[in-house]
Structure 1
Amino acid sequence: MCGIAGIFHTGTIKPVDPARVERMCDVLAHRGPDGSGVWTSPGVGLGHRRLSIIDIAGSLQPMHSIEERSVIVFNGEIYNFRALRRELEEKGARFRTDGDTEVILAAWQRWGEDCVQHLHGMFAFAIYDRKDRTLFLARDRFGVKPLFMAELSDGSLAFASELKGLLAHPLLRREVDPLAIEDYMTWGYVPDHRSILRGVSKLAAGHSLLLRHDSPLPQPRQYWDISFENRHKGKARDLEAELLHHLKQAVDSRMVADVPLGAFLSGGVDSSTVVAFMAEASRNKVKTCSIGFDVASADETSHADKIARLFDTEHASRIVSADQFDALDTIAGMFDEPFADASALPTWRVCQLARESVTVALSGDGADEAFAGYRRQVFHAHEERVRGVLPSALRSKVLGPLGEAFPKLDWAPRPWRAKTTLLSLAASGAQGYSRALSVVPPEIRLGLYGKDLQRQIGGYRGELPLEKLMAQAPARSGLDAAQYADLKFWLPGDILTKVDRTSMAVSLEAREPLLDHRLVEFAAGLPDGLRVKRAQGKWLLKKSMERYLPNDILYRPKQGFVTPIAQWFRGPLASKARGISKSAMLARTGWFENARLADIAEAHISGRSDHSRILWQLLMLDRSLARLGIA
């Protein structure tokens, strides 16, 4: 795993200062503490920070092809590099190293832009072709690895693995995009279609970009997408056997490393599945680690301990408590952009724990998106059936007003919290799902905003991009469309961003075997009834794992990696909740109504409402702005 950065000039070809590229890379040293390098030529500069995983002694970057035609900087891992190397050697390619970086170069020489179709893995890379004078940028299918870009005033395009790499460039403007604030308050993160700063973009997952010195910047090209349009045929037991084959293949391929390797273990279905196949494939004890909480209702360590004993792993665990929130500024600095998924704290802690004994850790991320494991997906499937029965006029004219009138009962048992369900059923499937996935609904957001921010946002709603994505999804059912949205929107923007930044902050490589694209493509072809059955999500995955895992792990209610911030904001963090409305940083922006923020804090502390996620969003926005120095 590594960090990359670079500069490419269009129009007038200007020299690139190597020291400027080096500064962009130096702020990414946490991504690659084992080595660094910079290469420049008229109009282009490439920089690299290296975390050595494969071919430790070789594969230094920037790497030149044998004939010196192409130069690459690469962040990630190509899991099929050995098979691909053999294929390329049969076609005449020669190699000087034993790693995957040179295989990408050879694939580029053989297939050009289509080289990405042959790569199985997680990656963000840049290849400069000295003969054609082009720069090729690419990002992996799911967006496991990030790539930020910015057009600068001198006619250049700068790129880096993290926003802080671009911030090291003196020509980058630090002006907040107001639409990004609306996006952030909607989702709790800034999605991949936008950046917190005007003029900065992110290369989308499954996309590439080919730049020329003498041409304006083109639009990125999508080279891969996930489709739910075709259904597998055959008996459930045959599909179960095929699924197990894909799972084994995915885990085995991600156990290749020349450094110590382990796994995150929460005790849930997904991480337990990964550990089960790791234990089957390894001659030695698998190293596992988990994080618990000082609030019993959020703690899963007993389940992780059970799986560790079952597979005789070398297990380590720690507890996260509210008094560890002195690290908020550190967390804000990891993400650069505001990021309000509170599980970032325990994710960072488990990465720290893992890094004490391993350099690579496998995770269970991706299965909920691919196999319909989220409760919201199961609810959405049921709601879509209701929408299919009730006329739209009845839903909008009856259920809509009922939802508006129904009180918001955060304190009540789940069956009594009908407000969200009624409002969801009154809307289209896409609108209902965006409401279920969002953190703060639009009517509450507008009540928080000051008049100036409302004017800048205009008629834009943060839900619109996701609703459009669902409407255009290659899908046959509402469940398909919901999973498509999760894979394309939620996964890269929230889950993978969280894992990438927190793992890279401690120089740990995190791998996601359940996001092997062949496994996900297989899952997308499963009939709805093999994904959700009798209100049970991930049905076929759980059924197939019955031979490996006990039923009380497979079929216990999904808990998730939930940080108990609601309790903490009513206890040890109450003063921080009250301090949000008095924040000088937020006050200077004029984006929010401070009196409203104070009311929200008091309502939460008193227990009348649960505003913990809003408070956490505002707290992290405040810290991020302070770190960026742009408010």
Structure 2
Amino acid sequence: MCGIAGIFHHGTAKPVDPMRVERMCDALVHRGPDGSGVWTVHGIGLGHRRLSIIDLAGSPQPMHSVDGRAVIVFNGEIYNYQELRRELVADGAKFRTQGDTEVILAAWQRWGVGCLERLHGMFVFAIYDLDKKQLLLARDRLGVKPLFTVQLSDGSLAFASELKGLLAHPLLRREVDPLAIEDYMTWGYVPDHRSFLKGVSKLPAGHFLLLEQGKGMQPTRQWWDIDFRHRHKGKAEDLSVELLHHLRSAVTSRMVADVPLGAFLSGGVDSSSVVALMAEASAEPVRTCSIGFDVAALDETAYADQVARLFHTDHRSRQVDPDDFGAIDTLAGMFDEPFADASALPTWRVSQLARETVTVALSGDGADEAFAGYRRQVFHAREEQARAVLPQALRGPVFGGLGKVWPKADWAPRPLRAKSTLLSLAGEGEAGYAAALAVTTPMQRGAIYSQRFAKGLGGYRGEQPFIDLMRKAPATSGLDRAQYADLKFWLPGDILTKVDRTSMAVSLEAREPLLDHRLIEFAAGLPHRLRIRGSQGKWLLKHTMERYLPEDILYRPKQGFVTPISHWFRGPLAGEARALADSSLAVRAGWFERGSVARIAEQHIAGTSDHGRLLWQLVMLESSLRHLKVSA
């Protein structure tokens, strides 16, 4: 696992200052503390920071091909590199190292862009072909690894694993994109279709960019997508056997490392499944770790301890103070862009704990998106059944009218919180699902935006790209479309960004076996009844893991990492909440109305409304603006 950076002149082949590339790489030292390198020729400069995982001494980067005609910098792991190496050797390729980096180089020289389809793993890499004067930038199928790019005023394209790498370039303009503010306020993060700074882009998951000197900028091209249109046939038990094969293959392929390896263990279905299969494949006790809280309602360590005992793991846990709000500015520095998923705090803490004993940790991320494990997906499937029976002409007036008069009752038991469901049923499924996933409504955002800022958005709403993605999905049902959008929008923008930044902040490589693309493709073909049964999501996965895990692990209600942000803003962070109205850079810039922000803070502090998540968004936005030193 590493950090990469580079500069490419796709017009005139101007000299590249190696010190600029070096400074960009130095900003990524946390991603690669074990080594660094810079290579430049006229028109191109590549830089690398290395975290040694495989072939510890033999694969320094930037790396040249054996014939000297291609150079690569690479961030990630290729899990089938040994099979590819054997195939390439049989075809006449020569190798000087034992790692996966040189295999990518040889694969590019043998198959060109077609090599991407042969690579199994998580990756972002840049290859420069000296003969063709071409630069290939490529990102893995699901977006586990990130890449930021920007077109600069001198005609060059700069790229880096994190935004902070581009921030080290003196020509980068630090101007906030107003549409990114709307996106962030909608979702709590800046999705991959946009960056927080104008002019900066993110290479989308499953895409590549192929540039050639003298030919100008080219559009990105998609090389992989997930397709939900084809259903597997066969009995549930046969498909369960096939699923177990995919799970075992995904886990064991990610256990290859020349450094200590372990796993995150929350005690939930997904991480427990990964640990169970690791224990099955390992002769030594699996190293596991978990984070607990001193608030019983937030603590899941008893379940993690139960799984650890079951599989005799070398388990370590640590209790952290739920009032860990002192790390706000540190988090802003990790993410660069504003990021308001409060579970980033415990994810960072468990990464710190893991890094004390291991360099690689396997996680359970991805199963909810792939197998329909989120409560919102189950609700959406039910709503789609109702939409299929009742025509829009009936649903709109009936459910819409009820939804408008039904009281908003966030404090009430879940069955009584009908307002959002009624409003969702009144409209189309895509808009309803977007509303279920968004952290604020258009009305909530409009209440704090200044008139000038709202007008400047030109009618744009953050939900629209998500809705468009669902509508264009290669899918046959509403559930398919919801899962497709989760995999393409929510997963890379929120979940994978969170895990990448918090783990790499402590120089820990996190691997996601449940995001093996063959497993994802298999899951996309499952019939609905094997994804959801009754109120139970992830049905086939849970059924398959019954041979390993007890019922109370498999079928207890899903929790996940929780951070008590609402409590913070009524207690130790009340002052921070009140200060937003007077000292916030966003208010000073004229984006938000001072009175509206002040009213939200006072309502929350008084306990008359729960605006905890919205206040957290505003605080993280403020911290990010200070970190980025933008002229708001």
Structure 2-normalised TM-score? 0.99
Q: Measure the CA separation in 2 of the matches of 1:270 and 1:177.
A: 37
**What is residue 591 of structure 1 aligned with on the other side?**
591
Residue aligning to 1:421: 421
Asked if 1:198 is matched to 2:198, the reply is: yes
1:394 matched to which residue of 2? 394
Determine the C-alpha separation between the residues in 1 that align with 2:598 and 2:30.
38
Matches within 5 A, 1:124-523: 124-523=124-523
- Contact 1:267-1:300 within 8 A present in 2 as well: yes
Deviations 1:160-179 (Å, cap 9, x if unpaired)?
Answer: 00000001000110010000
Deviation per CA, 1:110-160, whole angstroms, max 9, x where unpaired? Answer: 000111100000000000000000000000000000000000000000000
Q: What's the CA shift for 1:585?
A: 2.0
Query: Is 1:541 the equivalent of 2:541?
Result: yes
Alpha-carbon shift at residue 293 of structure 1 (Å)? 2.2
Aligned partners of 1:227 and 1:475 also within 8 Å: yes
The match for 1:60 is 60
C-alpha contact (below 8 Å) 1:228/1:480 kept by paired residues: yes
What is the CA-CA distance between 1:396 and the residue it aligns to? 1.5
Which secondary structure state, in structure 1, belongs to the residue aligned with residue 312 of structure 2? coil
* Residue type at the aligned position of 1:43: G
Using the alignment, how far apart are the partners of 1:93 and 1:406 within structure 2? 69
Measure the CA separation in 1 of the matches of 2:81 and 2:255.
13
| SS of match in other structure, 1:470 | helix
- C-alpha contact (below 8 Å) 1:266/1:272 kept by paired residues: yes
Q: Is the 8 A contact 2:322 2:563 kept in 1?
A: no
Query: Per the alignment, in what secondary structure is the counterpart of residue 289 of structure 1?
Result: strand
d(CA) in 1 for partners of 2:584, 2:426? 40
SS at match of 1:182: helix
SS of match in other structure, 2:267? coil
Letter in 2 for 1:46: L
User: Which letter maps to 2:91?
Assistant: K
- 1:245 offset after TM fit, Å? 0.4
Offset, 1:588: 1.9
Q: In 2, Cα distance between the equivalents of 1:602 and 1:401? A: 31
Is contact 2:335-2:501 (8 Å) kept? yes
Alignment-mate amino acid for residue 365 of structure 2: D
Superimposed CA distance per residue, residues 431-486 of structure 1 (whole angstroms, 9 cap, x where no aligned partner)? 00000000001111111101121011111000000100000101111110000000
How far has the Cα of 1:286 moved from its partner? 0.6
Which residue in the other structure is 1:577 paired with?
577
What SS does the aligned partner of 1:38 have?
strand
Deviation (angstroms), 1:584: 3.7
In structure 2, what is the Cα distance between the partners aligned to 1:106 and 1:30? 29
Matched, 1:555 2:555: yes
Give me the whole-angstrom Cα distance separating, in 1, the residues matched to 2:406 and 2:14: 63
Structure 1 runs (4+) deviating above 4 angstroms are none
| Residues in 2 aligned to 1:220 and 1:65: alpha-carbon distance in whole angstroms | 25
- Give the whole-Å Cα distance in 2 for the aligned partners of 1:577 and 1:553: 38
Q: Secondary structure at the match of 1:228?
A: coil
Structure 1 residue 12: Cα displacement: 1.6
- Residue pair 1:322, 1:568 contacting (<8 A) in 2 also: no
**Cα distance in structure 2, aligned partners of 1:297 and 1:599:** 30
- Matched pairs, number: 631
Q: 1:207 is matched by which residue type in structure 2?
A: H
Question: Partner amino acid for 1:219?
Answer: P
Between the aligned partners of 1:584 and 1:571, the Cα distance in structure 2 is 20
Single out whichever of 392-401 and 330-339 deviates more from structure 2. Answer: 392-401
- Of 498-507 and 609-618, more deviation after overlay is shown by 609-618
CA shift for structure 1 position 570: 2.4
Give 1:90's aligned residue: 90
SS of alignment partner, residue 122 of structure 1: strand
1:7 and 2:7 correspond:
yes
Q: How far did 1:573 drift?
A: 2.5
Cα contact 1:295–1:564 (8 A) shared by 2: no
Q: Secondary structure at the match of 2:324?
A: helix
Q: Which moved more, 1:393-402 or 1:423-432?
A: 393-402
Question: 2-side partners of 1:293 and 1:629: how far apart?
Answer: 34
Q: Could you say what secondary structure the match of 1:126 adopts?
A: strand
How far did residue 283 of structure 1 move?
A: 0.8
Inter-partner Cα distance in structure 2 for 1:79 and 1:582 = 52
SS at 2:319's partner residue? strand
Q: CA deviation at 1:529?
A: 0.6
CA–CA separation in structure 1 for the residues paired with 2:387 and 2:606: 38
Q: 1:614 is aligned with what amino acid?
A: L
- CA offset at residue 322 of structure 1? 4.0
Q: Secondary structure at the match of 1:138?
A: strand
**1:186, distance to aligned residue in structure 2 (A):** 0.3
Q: Which moved more, 1:320-329 or 1:341-350?
A: 320-329
**Contact 1:411/1:608, CA 8 A, preserved across alignment:** no
Displacement, 1:601?
1.7
Deviations for 1:29-85, whole angstroms, at most 9, x for unmatched residues? 000000000000110000000000000011000000000000000000000000110
- 2:101 maps to 1:104: no
1:315 CA drift (Å): 1.0
Q: Distance in 1 between matches of 2:424 and 2:362?
A: 36
In the alignment, what sits opposite 1:567?
A: 567
What do residues 589-612 of structure 1 show as CA deviations (whole Å, max 9, x unaligned)? 211112111221222223222211
1:617 alignment partner in structure 2: 617
Deviations 1:280-310 (A, max 9, x none): 1111111111112233212111111111111
Amino acid at match of 1:227: D
**What is the alpha-carbon distance in structure 2 between the residues aligned to residue 90 and residue 400 of structure 1?**
65
> 2-side partners of 1:560 and 1:400: how far apart?
32
| Greater shift in the superposed pair: 19-28 or 578-587 | 578-587
**Offset from partner CA, 1:543-579 (integer Å, 9 cap, x none):** 0000100000100011122222122322333222222
Q: Secondary structure at the residue paired with 1:597? A: helix
Tell me which amino acid in the other structure corresponds to 2:124.
Answer: A
Does the 8 A contact of 1:395 with 1:425 survive in 2? yes
Mapped partners of 2:420, 2:291: distance in 1: 32
Structure 2 segments unaligned to the other structure (5+ residues): none
**CA distances 1:354-397 after superposition (whole Å, capped 9, x unpaired):** 00000000000000000000000000000000111111012222
Contact 2:7 2:16 in 1 (8 A): yes
Paired AA for residue 515 in structure 2: L
Q: Secondary structure at the match of 2:46?
A: strand
Deviations 1:480-523, CA, capped at 9 Å, x for gaps: 00000000000000000000000000000000000000001000
Query: Could you say what secondary structure the match of 1:595 adopts?
Result: helix
**What percent of counterpart residues are identical?**
73
State the SS of the aligned residue for 2:244: helix
- How far apart, in 2, do the equivalents of 1:389 and 1:395 lie? 10
Give deviations 1:332-357, integer Å, cap 9, x for gaps. Answer: 00000000000000000000000000
Q: Could you report, residue by residue, the CA deviation over 1:162-211 in whole angstroms, capped at 9, with x for unpaired residues?
A: 00000100011001000000000000000000000000000000000100
The 3-state SS of whatever aligns with 2:609 is coil
1 CA distance for matches of 2:521 and 2:29?
Answer: 35
Tell me how far apart the structure 1 counterparts of residues 604 and 68 of structure 2 sit (CA, whole Å): 62
Residues 323 and 568 in structure 2, CA contact (< 8 A), matched pair in contact too: no
